[in-house]
Structure 1
Amino acid sequence: MLSMPKRFITGIMGFLAIVVAITMRECLSVAITEMVVPLKSFGRKNDSIICPIDNASSVRNSNYTSMDGTRYNWSQEQQGWILSSFYIGYVISHIPSGLLAEKFGGKWPMSLAVLILAICTIATPMALQYGGYEVFIVLRILMGLSSGTTYPGLSVILAAWIPQKERSKLGSIVLGGGQVGSIMSFYVTGLLLSIWPWQYIFYFWAIISIVWFIIFTLICYNDPASHPYISKEERDYLHKEIGQLKRHDVLTTPWKEILCSVPVLAYICAQIGQDFAAFIMSNDLPKYMKDVLGFSVYDVGFYSSLPYFIRWIMSIVSAFLCDFLINRNYISITQARKMFTFASGVIPAIFIVAASYAGCNRLLVVFWFVLAIGFFGCYYTGFRLNSLDLAPNFAGSLMALTNGIGALTGIAGPVFVGVMTPNSSLEEWRYVFWVTFCISMVRIVIYMIWGSAEIQSWNDPRESKSSEINTTKEDLLIKT
């Protein structure tokens, strides 16, 4: 592996960083179905429209039962707050961590974030045992604070290591770690919950993450210039291709220009709409399958992971297709970003609503969810790489701003679902899916009109200032 080009090694480790961060974040979405008192015996109205228990699933997985008797009487709204509390910390830490990564490089902000996240994950069972609901909420906020550093730090690393001609392909593959993390988190967690007490799930994912931390800190570096083992050929190639990146120079983040930039505002709107739908799916799809469709815990893990496998494949296919279209000059980068953003928003919104009208036809519901979440994968070659397009010098700050604002929906989404679905009935969930549809349509319209992938003038404030000085000198000469 060490003989590979160093940008590929960095990309692989960045990919794995996202995988381990997502597994620690999302394993709770499946684990919570075994941590709470079953809804059928706690707080559900008799007139709720629900599906009968999946007898075939129960027979097929008769050996898969939870081995731990510890369960909590958390209402749907309380579960919503538990799932959303992570994103309170996640939002807060984004911008400070982005600025920190731009100043010092992304390696340590990202790796230490994963380590702290692992420590908090190990502490989860103890927090619940000795502290209860309130302490658990505080711990989840702390986990969000550390996790919020991951994407800004990774964006800075990618901006330093991935040239523009490889950006759609390698960038999407690296960021596709989110899909692989969801696949592993849902499927493996569901499998392990069928044979282990739920407490062990948190220990399992934390230990894997600590192993990643040790390997990453030993073999990865902030940029090609600081890597002691990179070949001269690769260093020269990256220096030539990433000439607009000036990390070692002191640049002041142009917040006024960023916040007044129309493409950035369109980017933020796209992120908000995408995250609202994505967070509802990642946080609440396992609960939908358990509480509404009546799946066993093993099948909850399997069927929740299946859409993310298709999403991962779709992200890779769309990345190669995007690079092909751009490199052949069939479409511009801006057109590519809009085309794949459209595919990642409109198609999933339609299929999510369709799933709610499939009723208790479990195979059809799963089919619609697979297609919906699968097409989410197009957004990596859509607007997701926009921070690298618009301002490579401030990729960390821009990713922190957009990802942080988008993560506000991670706070609102689960609470919204908890309030709207007190009985977890089909009718209640249908309202949730229609709201998701409307938000998705609005953000697509905004991005299609005002989105862009052109490097902005404020990417290098010194060049803009130099241009203004030269223009002033020319004016003075003309007047003279």
Structure 2
Amino acid sequence: MKITARYTVIVMLTIAVANLYSFRSIPTMIKPYLIQIVGGDTKNVTKNECPEPSEKVQTKPLSNITEPISHQHAMKLAYDFARATAHFVSGMSCDISGGRYIVFFSVLGSAILTASYPSLLINSPPWGMIIFNIVSGSLSGYVMPAIMTLISSWAPLNRRTVFVGVVYAGGPLSKVLEYALIEFFTVISRNWENVFYISAILGFLYILIHMYTVFSKPGMHPLISREERKFLEKELGTKIPKRIPWFQIIKDKHVIAILFGKCAHLWMQNINQTYLPQYLKLVVRLDLATRGAFYMLLPHLLHFFCIIVAAVLVQISINAHKVELTHLRIFCTMFSAVSPAILMIMMSYAGCNIYMIQVLSAMAICSMCTMNLGIKSNILDLTTHFAGFCEAFINGIATFGVMATPKLLGVIITEHCIVQWRRFYWITLAFTSFLATMHYIFVGTDRAKWDHLKKDNVTMYHDDSESESL
């Protein structure tokens, strides 16, 4: 199979997602190596149920910077609020204007911010870092709907799920790169500023290639073959909407179903990325950062491969017409919403068995591999023309909902012990199961009525769609 324009676009979007996730995550991931956190709630004590690991390594921060824990909470709130708000701004424009330039300027702006972070961290007052997080969150939120718009413009029916899986596999792939960079520049060479500079350089390199390889529509791509353009335009259509039927979209029960699933996924993702490391460090007394980059990046590397394999298997099932599309979307959503919580409960019953806990925590991360195959692919089932707005509405509302996680955690966990964390994981399972059940009740995969435009020539939703020949 020759390399065609649509495959090039999808690979570039995967790199864009990896860059954007790196820009967002590196400041948070590197802080334990740089900053001493002071303050906090004295009620949240650690009971020391698990023994200190015999191979424990004492680490000393690479700088003398201190930061109140209240300041950390304010920065995270500022980032999340700006990101959710920017989703809606982008969603009202990207389906009409196209996503090419939105991705370009978002990656460019994020790369500039990343390059400036070391100087800001050392010299900026606290309010300066809050402004940094507001701008960073806005850029991150503004670009995600545009990426969905681009996928909807380049993904034919019998490649749709694979393309979604490949693009968003850039998330765990970025984690692998981040841990490798942090390990080398903070532990080995101790030049932590280079982590940000290299990440920014990779962003600048990306945007140079982006302008020659990524275009909003197949008809706008100067290097696409005539056969490929005709094929994509026959399946995806050529019409560009002039307005967003936002009211019809937000009241559609199938869109609401995806919103329920997305809330479950974001809740679970937030726990996996933010609170699971806290449990390992404070309760199990397993600080993976002191055990080397391999222990940190391995679960994310496995997660990357699990996404690719799952996407291929789901796409094969769809193309073979062996399983109904609706059932596949339900399974992917239910599996990634419920199984991580079950694995975390099992981890809490493993007590202080470090090896079992490491295996179960890695499985909890990998079990989210079907998340986007159920949620984001379902958006493309409903719409070709308004995927960006749907992504903005669903992800924006879900992001606001996830902001309640720290409050719930503070109410349930008054001291860091296995029993209280287990209770939190059981509540998480009940909550995500409820949301996944609501998704199951209202989910649909038929093209929505509001997606039909006048003189619309989209054909990709027919059951007898011809097989891809390119």
Place the TM-score, normalised by the shorter chain, in its bin: 0.7 to 0.9
The match for 1:8 is 7
The match for 2:466 is none
Matched residue type, 2:104:
S
Q: Distance in 2 between matches of 1:321 and 1:180?
A: 20
Instruction: Specify the SS of the correspondent of 2:68.
Output: coil
Indicate the percent of aligned positions where both proteins have the same amino acid.
25
TM-score of the two chains, using structure 1 as the length reference = 0.86
Instruction: Specify the SS of the correspondent of 1:18.
Output: helix
The match for 1:143 is 136
Q: Distance in 2 between matches of 1:350 and 1:141?
A: 34
Pairing of 1:206-355 with structure 2 (within 5 A): 206-243=200-237, 246-247=239-240, 249-250=241-242, 252-292=243-283, 293-295=285-287, 297-299=289-291, 301-355=293-347
- Structure 1 residues 430, 78: CA separation in 2 closer, same or farther (over 3 Å shift)? farther
The match for 1:152 is 145
Q: Distance in 2 between matches of 1:369 and 1:105?
A: 39
- Structure 1 residues 40, 294: CA separation in 2 closer, same or farther (over 3 Å shift)? farther
Correspondence 1:169 to 2:168: no
Q: Tell me the CA shift for residue 294 of structure 1.
A: 3.7
Q: Tell me the CA shift for residue 439 of structure 1.
A: 2.0
Q: Distance in 2 between matches of 1:54 and 1:291?
A: 12
Number of residue pairs the alignment of both structures matches: 454
- Structure 1 residues 400, 85: CA separation in 2 closer, same or farther (over 3 Å shift)? same
Contact 1:269-1:446 within 8 A present in 2 as well: yes
Pairing of 1:35-50 with structure 2 (within 5 A): 35-37=34-36, 48-49=47-48
Instruction: Specify the SS of the correspondent of 1:70.
Output: coil
The match for 1:356 is 348
Q: Distance in 1 between matches of 2:288 and 2:308?
A: 31
Contact 2:46-2:417 within 8 A present in 1 as well: no
The match for 1:473 is none
The match for 2:199 is 205
Contact 1:80-1:414 within 8 A present in 2 as well: no
- Structure 1 residues 27, 284: CA separation in 2 closer, same or farther (over 3 Å shift)? farther
- Structure 1 residues 46, 419: CA separation in 2 closer, same or farther (over 3 Å shift)? closer
Q: Distance in 1 between matches of 2:389 and 2:201?
A: 30
Contact 1:26-1:282 within 8 A present in 2 as well: no
Q: Distance in 1 between matches of 2:301 and 2:61?
A: 28
Contact 1:176-1:315 within 8 A present in 2 as well: yes
Q: Distance in 2 between matches of 1:124 and 1:184?
A: 18
The match for 1:74 is 68
Deviations 1:311-369 (A, max 9, x none): 22221122111112111111122111111112112211100222233233222112111
Q: List 4+ stretches of structure 1 deviating above 6 A.
A: 38-42
Contact 2:268-2:337 within 8 A present in 1 as well: no
Matched residue type, 2:34:
M
Matched residue type, 1:454:
D
Matched residue type, 2:107:
V
Deviations 1:58-114 (A, max 9, x none): 3xxx8xx55723231423x54344344321111011121122211211011112111
Matched residue type, 2:366:
G
Pairing of 1:462-477 with structure 2 (within 5 A): 462=454
Instruction: Specify the SS of the correspondent of 1:56.
Output: coil
Q: Tell me the CA shift for residue 291 of structure 1.
A: 3.9
- Greater shift, 357-366 or 385-394, is seen at 357-366
Q: Distance in 1 between matches of 2:307 and 2:425?
A: 23
Correspondence 1:56 to 2:55: yes
TM-score of the two chains, using structure 2 as the length reference = 0.88
Contact 2:35-2:61 within 8 A present in 1 as well: no
Q: 2:92 aligns with which of 92, 99, 102?
A: 99
- Structure 1 residues 198, 424: CA separation in 2 closer, same or farther (over 3 Å shift)? farther
- Structure 1 residues 43, 133: CA separation in 2 closer, same or farther (over 3 Å shift)? farther
Contact 1:114-1:209 within 8 A present in 2 as well: yes
Contact 1:286-1:304 within 8 A present in 2 as well: no
Q: Structure 2 unaligned runs (5+)?
A: 457-470
Contact 2:44-2:416 within 8 A present in 1 as well: no
Matched residue type, 1:206:
A
Q: Distance in 2 between matches of 1:422 and 1:10?
A: 49
The match for 2:24 is 25
Contact 2:65-2:122 within 8 A present in 1 as well: no
Q: Tell me the CA shift for residue 133 of structure 1.
A: 3.0
- Structure 1 residues 418, 192: CA separation in 2 closer, same or farther (over 3 Å shift)? farther
The match for 1:126 is 119
Contact 1:43-1:423 within 8 A present in 2 as well: no
Contact 2:36-2:61 within 8 A present in 1 as well: no
Matched residue type, 1:69:
S
Pairing of 1:442-453 with structure 2 (within 5 A): 442-453=434-445
Q: Which protein has the bigger helix share?
A: 1
Deviations 1:45-68 (A, max 9, x none): 76633544433253xxx8xx5572
Contact 2:40-2:68 within 8 A present in 1 as well: no
Q: Tell me the CA shift for residue 186 of structure 1.
A: 3.8
- Structure 1 residues 428, 33: CA separation in 2 closer, same or farther (over 3 Å shift)? farther
Correspondence 1:111 to 2:104: yes
